[in-house]
A and B are shown apart, each in its own frame.
Chain A
Amino acid sequence: MGRTQRRNLLNNVMLALTGVCTFLTVAVLFVILGFLLWNGFRSLDWNFFTKLPLSPGETGGGLANAIVGSGITILIAVVIGVPVGFFGGVYLAEFGGKTFPMFVRYTADLLNGVPSIVIGIFAWTVVVVPMHTFSAWAGGFALSLMMIPIGLRSTEQFLRAIPSSMREGSLALGATKTQTIMKVIVPAARQGILTGLILGVARVAGETAPLLFTSLNNQYWSEKLTEPTATLPVMIYKLAISPYDDWHRQAWAAGLVLLGLVLIANIAARWVLARGAAVQRG
């Protein structure tokens, strides 16, 4: 075989291999979706949404308390995390000087990279230890810490993308800086900011590790925010590692619901962003 032929052969083989790599990685997604749809739909029924978990051996229980618990902890996370992320982002984009915003940006990236289990430890030390109880508050606080960096950086990024002519136009009409920000800049960037919010919620909705020893788990309804609270991700974990078939069935159903919500949120975020871009161009 000649040199040219060898080079061409190598070319074709290697390029084909990169195609195989792509196929394999994309195939993983479809395998995951397929398994979850197959096992999830077989297990999903109306009881899942309305009943409490039952003891092993009984069939027909559900995870209603975990669905509500997840909603509550995420709501707490949004209430704490969104203002910090939003106003912090406004500061970085509109008010900040040079040095201090750089520090904030750096620490936000650092916080974003902290392993979720370590976030859980932190929430345990500052909420669970002083309150002497596992609680929805602690879980929500842990999740809010994971939302803040996403909200902060996306708010900043989308505010910065607004052309400075809009700021100058508003200031030239006599508006103050605050009026300019609240009535001109933020509305113009609202799609991007909304996207950041949705992505933040989607990220924390599936987090398990920070909740393991903050909101813990609960077989029953939690009546107060200061009680251990069941959440969907922690339930999936506990049910999946249990030895009971009926609990495994519940885990698949819960996995399907959780993944469905997370993927829908992600696709919705992209859709909002794409529509925003289309509106601005049009």
Chain B
Amino acid sequence: MAGTAIIAAPPQPAAQKFIKRLRDGDKAAHLITLIFAASVFLVTVFLIFELWIHSSASRGKFGLGFLFTTTWDPNAENFGALPFIYGTVLTSFLALLISVPLAVGAAIFLSELAPPKLSNTCTFLIELLAAVPSVIYGLLAIFTLVPLMRSYVEPFLKKTLGFLPLFKGPAYGFGYLTAGLILAIMTFPFIISISRESLLSVPREQREAALALGATKWESTWQVVVPYARLGIIGSIFLALARALGETMAVTMVIGNDTTIHSSLIAPGYTIAAIIANEFAEATSDIHHDALVELGLVLFLITIILNASAQLLILATTKKGSKRD
């Protein structure tokens, strides 16, 4: 017995060493993947840090007044962000005004009325719209939407509603309204696909109960199903808004690049993303760069707040849906 034990003993340390090496391999793998995961976190923190540091000259010189002044004069090194904030908010607002009714309507049709096959095919096609690069939306907008707006839509609006200050001035085709329209098209897929998901997650019983009480299909949908899914729908609208605010290329190509504020929707304007896209590469003075980076910082803060609220809302509805199922 003792003899065999002695003979059998030598392989054991080797095997243990081997197993230990494997265990160490696990530790190494843990560490390596941890470093990569942590780098995502660190890069995001670093991004905020860099935006803060590289906007210091502008923040120091203009303070909070930067957000409320309207002069943008690179030659005099005098910068105010208001025309761009105004343009960004206005174009995104116009976009939502157009896209929310259409997209929510489409989501209702796809979740409540369409047979599953048609619904899935349409959703697939609409989600492909989300994959179209924004520069291609811009290309199409310049050569189709802009001439259309200039020759037909804007003259028509001026003729019928021209007494309002909203539709005064020459029809260039380039301007807030055209930018809002192209943004509306770009936000369709986000609102439709997420709203449809939240509508689909409403339990069947809700619909059946409403119908059993004598409601028509529309009444059951509008008064029971849609309110039940409202957080998800609002979430999808927030997400679309965040996209619209940060959208660069398509807007830059049709906004008209005018640094003054106009009350007319058909007048040319500017957005935060568009001014950065147009001037960043050519900016020569440090303060000009810093002012543009500060605009980027403003845009960043607005969009992350919107994105975070959108995610919370979407999370809230999907949780609610699955709990009651």
Does A17 sit at the interface, judged by CB under 8 A?
yes
A193–B280 CA distance with the chains assembled, in angstroms: 36
Q: How large is the interface on B (under 10, 10 to 19, 20 to 34, 35 or more residues)?
A: 35 or more
User: Once the chains bind, are B39 and A251 in contact (CB under 8 Å)?
Assistant: no
Q: A122-B47, A122-B50, A208-B133 are in contact. Are A87 and B37 (CB under 8 A)?
A: yes
Question: Which of B41, B126, B134 gathers most chain A CB within 10 Å?
Answer: B41
User: Once the chains bind, are A25 and B192 in contact (CB under 8 Å)?
Assistant: yes
What are the interface flags for B293-305 relative to A under an 8 Å C-beta threshold, 1 for contact and 0 otherwise?
1001001100110
User: Once the chains bind, are B32 and A87 in contact (CB under 8 Å)?
Assistant: yes
User: Once the chains bind, are B128 and A29 in contact (CB under 8 Å)?
Assistant: yes
User: Once the chains bind, are A208 and B135 in contact (CB under 8 Å)?
Assistant: yes
User: Once the chains bind, are B277 and A117 in contact (CB under 8 Å)?
Assistant: yes
A248 contacts across to B, CB distance below 8 A: 143
User: Once the chains bind, are B218 and A14 in contact (CB under 8 Å)?
Assistant: yes
User: Once the chains bind, are B132 and A259 in contact (CB under 8 Å)?
Assistant: yes
User: Once the chains bind, are B132 and A152 in contact (CB under 8 Å)?
Assistant: no
Does A57 sit at the interface, judged by CB under 8 A?
no
What are the interface flags for B101-130 relative to A under an 8 Å C-beta threshold, 1 for contact and 0 otherwise?
111111011101110000000101110110
B50 contacts across to A, CB distance below 8 A: 122, 125-126
In the complex, which residue of chain B has the Cβ closest to the Cβ of A178?
B29
User: Once the chains bind, are A7 and B216 in contact (CB under 8 Å)?
Assistant: yes
A116–B273 CA distance with the chains assembled, in angstroms: 9
A25 contacts across to B, CB distance below 8 A: 102-103, 106, 126, 129, 188, 192
Contact of B307 (CB < 8 Å), options: A32, A87, A113, A148: A113
Does B248 sit at the interface, judged by CB under 8 A?
yes
A22 contacts across to B, CB distance below 8 A: 105-106, 109-110, 114, 122
User: Once the chains bind, are B139 and A255 in contact (CB under 8 Å)?
Assistant: yes
User: Once the chains bind, are B40 and A17 in contact (CB under 8 Å)?
Assistant: no
User: Once the chains bind, are B38 and A104 in contact (CB under 8 Å)?
Assistant: yes
User: Once the chains bind, are B40 and A111 in contact (CB under 8 Å)?
Assistant: yes
Contact of A208 (CB < 8 Å), options: B134, B192, B217, B242: B134
User: Once the chains bind, are B139 and A236 in contact (CB under 8 Å)?
Assistant: yes
User: Once the chains bind, are A206 and B37 in contact (CB under 8 Å)?
Assistant: no
Q: A25-B188, A35-B144, A241-B142 are in contact. Are A121 and B296 (CB under 8 A)?
A: yes
A20–B277 CA distance with the chains assembled, in angstroms: 37
Q: How large is the interface on A (under 10, 10 to 19, 20 to 34, 35 or more residues)?
A: 35 or more
User: Once the chains bind, are A18 and B105 in contact (CB under 8 Å)?
Assistant: yes
Q: A10-B218, A29-B129, A90-B33 are in contact. Are A15 and B113 (CB under 8 A)?
A: yes
User: Once the chains bind, are B246 and A115 in contact (CB under 8 Å)?
Assistant: yes
User: Once the chains bind, are B138 and A176 in contact (CB under 8 Å)?
Assistant: no
User: Once the chains bind, are A263 and B281 in contact (CB under 8 Å)?
Assistant: no
User: Once the chains bind, are A124 and B135 in contact (CB under 8 Å)?
Assistant: no
Which of A44-52, A161-169, A209-217 binds B?
A209-217
In the complex, which residue of chain B has the Cβ closest to the Cβ of A207?
B133
Contact of A114 (CB < 8 Å), options: B26, B218, B300: B300
User: Once the chains bind, are A206 and B133 in contact (CB under 8 Å)?
Assistant: yes
Question: Which of B102, B126, B242, B292 gathers most chain A CB within 10 Å?
Answer: B102
B110 contacts across to A, CB distance below 8 A: 22
In the complex, which residue of chain A has the Cβ closest to the Cβ of B35?
A87
User: Once the chains bind, are B51 and A14 in contact (CB under 8 Å)?
Assistant: no
Does B30 sit at the interface, judged by CB under 8 A?
yes
A181 contacts across to B, CB distance below 8 A: 29
Minimum C-beta distance from A117 to chain B (A): 5
Does A110 sit at the interface, judged by CB under 8 A?
yes
Does B249 sit at the interface, judged by CB under 8 A?
yes
A216–B36 CA distance with the chains assembled, in angstroms: 29
B6 contacts across to A, CB distance below 8 A: none
Contact of B128 (CB < 8 Å), options: A118, A241, A266: A266
A56 contacts across to B, CB distance below 8 A: none
B249 contacts across to A, CB distance below 8 A: 208-209, 233, 237
Can you identify 16 A-B contacts, CB atoms within 8 angstroms? Answer: A20-B105, A22-B110, A29-B125, A87-B36, A88-B40, A95-B33, A108-B44, A115-B248, A121-B51, A152-B40, A236-B136, A240-B143, A255-B136, A255-B140, A259-B136, A263-B128
Residues of A at the B interface (CB closer than 8 Å) are 7-8, 10-11, 14-15, 17-22, 24-26, 28-29, 32, 35-36, 39, 83-84, 86-88, 90-92, 94-96, 100-101, 103-104, 107-111, 113-122, 124-126, 134, 145, 148-149, 152, 176-179, 181, 202-203, 205-209, 212-213, 216, 233, 236-237, 240-241, 248, 251-252, 255, 258-259, 262-263, 266-267, 270
